[in-house]
Amino acid sequence: MASRSAIDAGIPPRPLAAELRRRIAGSLQGGDDSQFAGPNGGTPITKLATYHARAVETIRDMTINEPALIVVLDGIKEVHLAGDMFEFHPGEPFVLPAGQSFDIVNRPDEASGRYRAVFITLPRDLVRRVAQAHPRRGKAVAVSTRKPHDPGIDLTPQAVDTISHAAMALSRTDLDASLAEHRVMEILLLIGHLPAIMRIHAGATFSERARHHIALAPMDSWRAHDLARLLGVSSATLRRRLADEGTSLRHILTDERMRRARAMIEDGERNIAAIAAACGYSSRSHFAASFRSAHGASPHGLIAAAAGSRSGTAASSP
């Protein structure tokens, strides 16, 4: 089992983590937990809450009904998920997945003797609505050293602003429910590519869950036992359940690689070698053959069509 600190790995930088902690901690001073009801007092839109502990806590086989964004304010949180351990320090945000078992350990700060964290629920309905309104948002994944199932969020100045803005707004009990919803949607636009979020708008089928793990890293050499571990099943069960849904690991991997290739071309990438490498191909000829089979045109043909479309000529999509 691997142990990794987000700060030790260089993600996120200490100044950004410190700034996020400072902003959120300041907004919560003297504040109570907040919950924002939906229309006519229905299902809550979201909930902001703080959690405190004075001694080391270990909670095993925990599951939650809605994904949640968490920022540690004091102490350290360990998250044991999919066979790995991830460690989060003050100011480091992460998202816990819904419907997936994990273990957590909360360690109080050595100086203050206190563990404290804030969490914001991310309701499934909002996740799906944001995904439908911005279907390509989750595909624009920045380069990251994280593993596909790492729940951590890479901090950038934009991420600090988005998360702190939401936390500060949601800490106000007089905030209008529609504004509370808007703040959560801003967070979802920021983190829509994370597995905990993609799993919800991907759908509930086994093959869709598999597909969206692969979509996060189509350049990887996916093997059955790698994917099976992430999905919590054996390799044999993985193959059987994919076959029951009329697909296979090879089919899903090729399909996601070709989706990524087409998206890169449509986004302006012209270097075929770079596209092939980003999609897990070391051979340009093998990449070109797979591309033509999937899209009915060569990579060069689609690049020419995309270039013509951008320049205003009548270029049809193959």
pLDDT in tens, 207-266: 877 886 888 789 999 999 999 988 888 999 999 999 988 889 999 999 889 988 988 887
What is the model's pLDDT at position 137? Answer: 56
Looking at the structure, tell me whether residues 252 and 226 fall in a common domain: yes
Show the domain range for 16.
Answer: 3-202
Looking at the structure, tell me whether residues 168 and 290 fall in a common domain: no
pLDDT digits (tens, 9 = 90+) for 252-307: 999 889 988 988 887 788 899 999 999 999 999 999 999 999 888 899 988 887 66
% of the chain residues with pLDDT over 70: 78
**Residue where one domain finishes, among candidates 179, 202, 225:** 202
Q: Can you list the pairs that 87-90 forms with residues at least 24 positions away whose Cβ atoms lie under 8 Å?
A: 87/3, 87/4, 87/5, 87/6, 88/5, 88/6, 88/152, 89/5, 89/6, 89/7, 89/17, 90/17, 90/18, 90/21
Q: Which burial class, exposed, middle or buried, applies to 235 when counting CB atoms under 10 A from its CB (0-12, 13-18, 19+)?
A: middle
**Residue where one domain finishes, among candidates 153, 175, 202:** 202
Looking at the structure, tell me whether residues 19 and 125 fall in a common domain: yes
**Residue where one domain finishes, among candidates 202, 224, 246:** 202
CATH of the domain at 50: 2.60.120.10
pLDDT digits (tens, 9 = 90+) for 18-74: 999 999 998 875 544 455 444 334 344 577 888 888 899 998 878 777 789 999 999
Q: Full-prediction pTM beyond 0.85?
A: no
What's the number of domains the chain is made of? 2
